[in-house]
């Protein structure tokens, strides 16, 4: 477990399955990501995603508050050979604007850059997710790529933005 000021990151357990299925199917939460909204996740799909898809380069962390409530999920894909990783962080919509996303991001960046010795971390967000853009920018991420018309939501296409943070930039900001 990785403890932070507001959140803690921990591994998945079998008894988390029902809660995770609800979280991953929350339409308001999913609408703020680049994930495909259809079809909804079944418990079997969530089980496969969190247990069978894991390997030495792929990690999942559950984000909990200090009431032990699962409030989000963080996915980390790493390419150790290139010392690069990509993260995806989802906080359930009802728990936004409480500082949980920033705290969980700080925890994972400490692990990525200080423990795993990665050189770069990237993430992809839809252009309309302004809250995520603010959190990433505050953490030192820089917008690197605009993928035009990459996400379809509410009847129209939106850009997806790739943000990146280098180890040297992270260490300079700590």
Sequence spans of domains, the chain: 2-173
140 pLDDT more than 80: yes
pLDDT greater at residue 54 or residue 152: 152
Tell whether the model's pLDDT for residue 110 goes beyond 90: yes
> CA 31 to CA 160: how far, in whole Å?
13
Question: How sure is the predictor about 24, in pLDDT bands with cuts at 50, 70 and 90?
Answer: confident
Residue 20 confidence (pLDDT): 84
Per-residue pLDDT at 152 exceeds 70: yes
pTM attached to this predicted model: 0.89
pLDDT of residue 18: 86
The Cα 26–Cα 80 span in angstroms is 32
The whole-angstrom separation of Cα 10 and Cα 90 is: 14
* 112-131 pLDDT per residue, tens: 999 999 999 999 999 999 99
Contact between residue 73 and residue 62 where contact means Cβ atoms under 8 Å apart:
yes
Q: Is pLDDT at 6 greater than 80 in this prediction?
A: yes
Residue 37 has a pLDDT of: 62
pLDDT tens column, 90-109: 999 899 999 999 999 999 99
Nearest to 62 by CA among 6, 12, 14: 12
Whether domain 2-173 has CATH 3.20.20.70? no
């Amino acid at each position: 477990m990785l403890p932070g000021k507001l959140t803690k990151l921990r591994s998945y357990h079998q008894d988390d399955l029902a809660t995770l299925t609800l979280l991953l199917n929350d339409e308001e939460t999913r609408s703020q990501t680049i994930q495909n909204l259809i079809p909804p996740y079944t418990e079997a799909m969530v089980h496969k995603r969190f247990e069978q898809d894991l390997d030495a380069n792929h990690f999942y962390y559950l984000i909990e508050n200090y009431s032990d409530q699962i409030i989000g999920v963080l996915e980390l894909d790493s390419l150790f050979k290139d010392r690069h990783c990509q993260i995806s962080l989802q906080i359930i919509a009802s728990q936004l604007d409480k500082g949980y996303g920033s705290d969980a991001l700080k925890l994972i960046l400490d692990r990525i850059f200080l423990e795993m010795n990665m050189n770069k971390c990237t993430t992809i967000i839809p252009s309309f997710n302004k809250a995520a853009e603010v959190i990433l920018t505050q953490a030192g991420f820089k917008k690197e790529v605009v993928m035009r018309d990459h996400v379809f939501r509410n009847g129209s296409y939106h850009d997806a933005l790739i943000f990146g943070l280098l180890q040297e930039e992270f260490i300079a900001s700590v």
